[in-house]
Chains A and B, each alone.
Chain A
Amino acid sequence: MNNPYIPIDTQVSMARFESTDHSLKTIDLKFDKGKIFDFIPGQFCEMSILGKGEAPFGIASAPFEEFLRFTINRAGIVTTEIHHLEQGDKVGLRGPLGNGYPVKLFAGKNIVVVSGGFAFTTLRSLVMYLLKDRKKYGDITVIYGARRPDLLLYRDELAEWEKRDDIKLYLCIDWKFGPKGPIEEAAEKGWIPINLKKPSETKINKDDKKFTAFVPQLVSAVKPDKENAYAVVCGPPIMIKFTMPVLKDLGFSSEKIYNSLERRMKCGFGKCGRCNIGPKYVCKDGPVFSLKELESLPKEY
């Protein structure tokens, strides 16, 4: 009988800081024994530092890549310890856990990916997965924002995606703040401001990729088409809260919007009890839920 509480041994094959302020670190893992496990984009793992504890992180690499990638924000005891890891260090891992994105539903559909901050990890996994079988899917639109340009994850890959014509990439960074709120000018050189009051009236030229806006405003300016499309949203609660109405205004129905949630977790497989929203466990039944499912649950997210 497999004991689900025991972490497997993995080794750090690459470790680098993702942001210039060293708050985000990306590490790649390889398994001590054999190839990495099979998984679906959107699933997560419990990373385990013996003596410090465990914490759940979404998988940022795609299933066909030869490593498991995680990008981790330094926040507590376990994440601080993970930030100290270097190439060659050992780390325990339990997974893959959770349900992942409904990738089977996505065949032949247009996919709109909306993300904010370092929640982009599992969405990188998803986009890489879709790009691998590019012909199987319709248009792929990625709308991704962060507070500052250096807080956008995987900038090398974003730069490559910018050049491709089979993926529509829209990036944004937050506004500069004056004494009376956001200042209506580019936050950095080359980042075009979106109409702050009426974002949907902003005209977006074909080659424009970088904007000064909050993610919901950018979604409203880009106006992704709802026809034959699924929207996948992952980001901080405040971003999700304001993005949902925008997507609904654009005509996306609740069944066509998928959300990836996060919760405090311990076991990762529906036993320890804390991550439930109503009768659903985020670890076991999630972390990916359609908005339709979420609307039927108590508002505890």
Chain B
Amino acid sequence: MKKIKKEKFYSKLNDLIGEYRVYAPKGDRIGEIRNSTDIEVQTLLTRLSAKSVFLPQNEELFRWDKDKKIKIKTSEKKTILFGIRPCDASAIAALDPTFDTKEFPDTYYKSRRTNTIIISVGCNEPEETCFCSSFNSGPFDDSHSDVLLMENSTEFIGVGKEEILDLFGFEEGDGKKEFEKIKDSAEKKVQEISLSGIKEKLDSVKDTSFFKDISNKCINCGACTFLCPTCYCFDIEDLNRVDGGKRVRNWDSCMFKIYTCETSGNNPRKEEELRMRQRIMHKFNYYPLLYDVFGCVGCGRCVLYCPVNFDIRSAIKKLGD
């Protein structure tokens, strides 16, 4: 196990700003920071997830001038994403099969993904809404981070890629025991829900009455999908200016009625229960079927911030009954 004093880590991080673009928890989101003092690593989960680093809420695809000549702005700047939680790191990995494809690769996503180092920090004190352990993961899951840190009062204990640990000047130390202890106590705090056979259970739901029942109180605000670290749906639209314009993509949500509404007025998912079915099925049935990974990482944001207290965990439990 390698260790580093916190001050030393942050001062090295400060040195790297400039050479790297650095993203870290800042207020309610993961934002770009100019100085390590801006970092609010004590936040357990930022309200907005780390997906915005790879898939910004509003992103320019290209712009054109008054002669309609197209210009593409790409940035290949090296990036450090620091202080996200293991669930957010798993969520980014879950986006890869959609965006990093052989045919039609999403160039914007892919260039950010290849240029970003992910340094996540494990969760010493998970929330009541956390259920990451249900997905073969946990508060100290290091599988999708380049480096995973454990925080105590003065130090970071790190595991992961040697070259990154060396870059920051981690030193050999006796942290293993402490690491395991905190890990064990954190893991005990995370609620685990049973997902065994959920795909098959959802397959067997033939009519929509189950979804009608659970979507009764839903007001279709879309907060769950915007805050969800694995929800990636987007809309493409054009913005005009006098001397040209740009084509942008914005986050969209399957919970909105207009999302699937065609110009003719025909809407295949007109009813609320069909949209709820889409959200649940996409996460727990279609996504595992297509890519062998769930479209949910158990971060609990949708549970924490739903204005009508819809709890996806109880929906899953209900399915088991």
B64 and A50 within 8 A (CB):
yes
B5 to chain A, nearest CB (A): 41
Closest 8 CB pairs of A and B: A273-B233, A269-B104, A279-B286, A76-B263, A4-B104, A75-B263, A300-B268, A3-B107
Contacts of A271 in B (CB 8 A): 98-99, 104, 106, 232, 234
Contacts A6-B62, A6-B70, A50-B245 hold; do A269 and B103 have CB atoms under 8 A apart?
yes
Contacts of A298 in B (CB 8 A): 277, 281
A51 and B235 within 8 A (CB):
no
Further pairs besides A5-B61, A5-B107, A274-B252: 12, Cβ < 8 Å: A4-B104, A4-B106, A5-B247, A6-B70, A53-B236, A262-B262, A271-B232, A272-B236, A273-B252, A279-B289, A300-B269, A300-B274
A216 to chain B, nearest CB (A): 19
A sample of 19 inter-chain contacts (CB < 8 A) reads: A2-B107, A4-B104, A6-B70, A50-B238, A51-B238, A52-B238, A75-B264, A264-B259, A264-B263, A269-B104, A270-B104, A271-B99, A271-B232, A272-B233, A274-B254, A276-B282, A278-B281, A278-B286, A279-B290
Contacts A5-B62, A51-B245, A79-B263 hold; do A272 and B110 have CB atoms under 8 A apart?
no
Contacts of B269 in A (CB 8 A): 300
Give chain A's interface secondary structure class: loop
- The 0/1 profile, CB within 8 Å of A marked 1, for residues 94-111 of chain B is 000011010111110010
Partner of A3 from B72, B263, B274 at Cβ < 8 Å: B72
A266 and B104 within 8 A (CB):
no
- Is B1 an interface position by the 8 A CB rule? no
**Complexed CA–CA distance, A279 and B286 (Å):** 5
Q: Which of B259-303 contact A (CB under 8 A)?
A: 259-264, 266, 268-269, 274, 277-278, 281-282, 285-286, 289-290
Q: Which of A1-45 contact B (CB under 8 A)?
A: 1-7
Partner of B107 from A1, A262, A270 at Cβ < 8 Å: A1
- Is A209 an interface position by the 8 A CB rule? no
For B106, B252, B259, B261, the residue with the greatest tally of chain A CB atoms inside 10 Å of its CB is: B106
**Complexed CA–CA distance, A301 and B270 (Å):** 11
- Is A263 an interface position by the 8 A CB rule? yes
**Complexed CA–CA distance, A103 and B87 (Å):** 46
Contacts of B233 in A (CB 8 A): 272-274
A90 and B68 within 8 A (CB):
yes
**Complexed CA–CA distance, A183 and B268 (Å):** 33
What range describes how many residues of A lie at the interface?
35 or more
A42 to chain B, nearest CB (A): 18
For B72, B104, B237, the residue with the greatest tally of chain A CB atoms inside 10 Å of its CB is: B104
Partner of A266 from B72, B234, B277, B285 at Cβ < 8 Å: B234
Contacts of B289 in A (CB 8 A): 279
- Is B37 an interface position by the 8 A CB rule? no
Contacts of A269 in B (CB 8 A): 103-104
- The 0/1 profile, CB within 8 Å of B marked 1, for residues 76-119 of chain A is 10010000000000100000000000000000000000000000
B222 to chain A, nearest CB (A): 13
A270 to chain B, nearest CB (A): 7
Q: Which of A212-239 contact B (CB under 8 A)?
A: 237
- Is A54 an interface position by the 8 A CB rule? yes
Contacts of B247 in A (CB 8 A): 5, 50
- The 0/1 profile, CB within 8 Å of B marked 1, for residues 240-275 of chain A is 000000000000000000000011101101111111
Contacts of B264 in A (CB 8 A): 75
Contacts of A279 in B (CB 8 A): 285-286, 289-290
- Is B196 an interface position by the 8 A CB rule? no
B62 to chain A, nearest CB (A): 6
- Is B136 an interface position by the 8 A CB rule? no
**Complexed CA–CA distance, A1 and B100 (Å):** 12
B279 to chain A, nearest CB (A): 11
Q: Which of B226-255 contact A (CB under 8 A)?
A: 232-238, 240, 245, 247, 249, 252, 254
